[in-house]
Amino acid sequence: MADVKQASAMLKWLRVMLRVLLVIMVFMTGRLLYPRVSNSTLTKRQMDLHNDVQTAQESSVQRSSHSSNVGVSLSVVHDIVLWTSDRLGEVGIYRVPVLTYTPKGNLVAITEGRRKSKSDENPKIFTVKRSTDGGATWSPSQWIVDDGKSRFKRCSYIGTIFTDDTTATIFLMYVYCEFCPTRSLMLINSTDDGVTWGRPRNITDHIGKNYITHPSPGYGIQKKHDPAKGRLIVCGHGFHDGLGIVLLLSDDHGVTWRHGAFVPSVPFLDTPKGYFDPDECQPVELPDGSIHIVVRNQMVYRCNCKMIMRSFDGGETLPRKYMLLDRALVEPRITSGVWYHNGTMFYTGPKTKTKRSKLFIRWSQDYGRTWTPGTEIWGDLAGYSTLTMLPQDDNHIYMLYERGTKEYFDEIAVTKMKISTTTDRSAT
């Protein structure tokens, strides 16, 4: 009897031990297998990308330095300071300006007023100025979005401005609470040429949590040619769980939105220095209906220069085989201005590899294959810049930008330039 009792106790003990062992084995296999699988996937993606970028780069047309100043020359008409970061009063720092033409042929500039400190994560107000005389005079500041005295990180970030020419509406898309566990994508508009602005709409649910991005500083586009004529396109960078860029699309004049092309950084999370991390992006449409995007190369992937991406399907995809690094467009990791008009692509940005200084305007007459050395607009410290032109004026281009002498954002200024075209193509 005692033996039987002992044997059954032994069996029970063995069964318990087996179960414990099984649990430990399942746990260990999961731990060992899971990271191995995801690591090898990442490495493969990384390799593909590396090869594709290299191929695109090698196949790109040879850049020539002899095409300088052919066809176009620029001269400054005037230069006006719109905001000054005097560090006085409630809002003493201004940064990240955006600019657009309006449906009635005027100009609207919006910038971030930063309360308390210059850091990105503090409460802000968005402030608007308009010009109805080709940039000669500007209205007083009007505040349209105000974070009040909210806590650290619970704040708004500019943002992409764009105009729907069909409905004569100006939009500003921006992100709220970018570094909170839940971020929101917001859209505010004006239907009276920028005089008054409505309440912000929360469009987070249109896009879905995983694609909520920071609409990049600069302007969005409305497609003027097929494919997807009339579509509104905003390029954004960064996600709640990783890095990279995404195109946000609307085919009903800004009422509903969805995501199109998505280009993750590699690796997606905590991208190290030297790896592929496309950041702030500025799209332009070319006459063939393709979209050409100039992208900040945040982790200095293979050069201190811009990444270029292209879409041939209205922003649904950005094929890897058309990505390249534009070594002519050196940058100190920054937002740049890009504008295309009548055969000329304009580009603005600091012509340096690391320091935010020496702001140049440059241009290309072969869709960005080769660039002129350009003209220096501000020789001292300078930061973000953006460009626009008025619809009824083919002769002037406007640049809004951060500049200074103590810091690169002492002031936000607008420079108006006259475009002169010459037919003398032998001039160099």
Ligand X SMILES: *[C@@H]1O[C@H](CO)[C@@H](O)[C@H](O)[C@H]1NC(C)=O
CB 385 within 8 A of CB 349: yes
Contacts of ligand X in 66-85 (CB under 6 A): 71
Q: Active site residue: 94, 275, 340, 384, which one?
A: 384
The nearer residue to ligand X, 162 or 409, going by C-beta atoms, is 162
DSSP letters, 86-148, are ---SSEEEEEEEEEEE-TTS-EEEEEEEEES-SSTTS-EEEEEEEESSTTSS-PPPEEEEE-T
DSSP letters, 348-406, are EEESSSSSSEEEEEEEESSTTSS----EEEEEEEEEEEEEE--TT-TTEEEEEEEEESS
Assess 192 for contact with ligand X (CB under 6 A).
Answer: no
DSSP letter for 210, please: G
* Amino acid occupying residue 301: Y
Here's the x/- map for ligand X, 136-175, by CB under 6 A: it reads as ----------------------------------------
CB 283 within 8 A of CB 233: yes
86 is a catalytic site residue: no
Least Cβ distance, residue 221 to ligand X (angstroms)? 16
Q: Which of 48, 86, 192, 205 binds ligand X (CB under 6 A)?
A: 205
Residue of 346, 227, 365 whose CA lies nearest to 282: 346
Assess 8 for contact with ligand X (CB under 6 A).
Answer: no
Assess 212 for contact with ligand X (CB under 6 A).
Answer: no
Give the separation between CA 18 and CA 127, rounded to whole angstroms: 68
The nearer residue to ligand X, 48 or 394, going by C-beta atoms, is 394
Greatest Cα pair distance, the chain, in angstroms, is: 114
The nearer residue to ligand X, 298 or 364, going by C-beta atoms, is 364
208 CB-contact burial (10 Å; exposed 0-12 / middle 13-18 / buried 19+): exposed
Q: Active site residue: 52, 120, 316, 407, which one?
A: 120
Size of residue set near ligand X by CB under 6 A: 18
Assess 255 for contact with ligand X (CB under 6 A).
Answer: yes
The piece of 87-95, 99-107, 193-201, 222-230 that touches ligand X (CB under 6 A) is 193-201
The piece of 47-55, 137-145, 200-208, 373-381 that touches ligand X (CB under 6 A) is 200-208
Q: Which of 157, 176, 276, 340 binds ligand X (CB under 6 A)?
A: 176
384 is a catalytic site residue: yes
Radius of gyration for the alpha carbons in the chain, expressed in angstroms and rounded: 26
Assess 254 for contact with ligand X (CB under 6 A).
Answer: yes
Contact positions vs ligand X (CB under 6 A)? 71, 176, 182, 184, 187, 189, 198-199, 201-202, 204-205, 254-255, 342-343, 394, 421
Show which residues are catalytic. Answer: 120, 384, 402
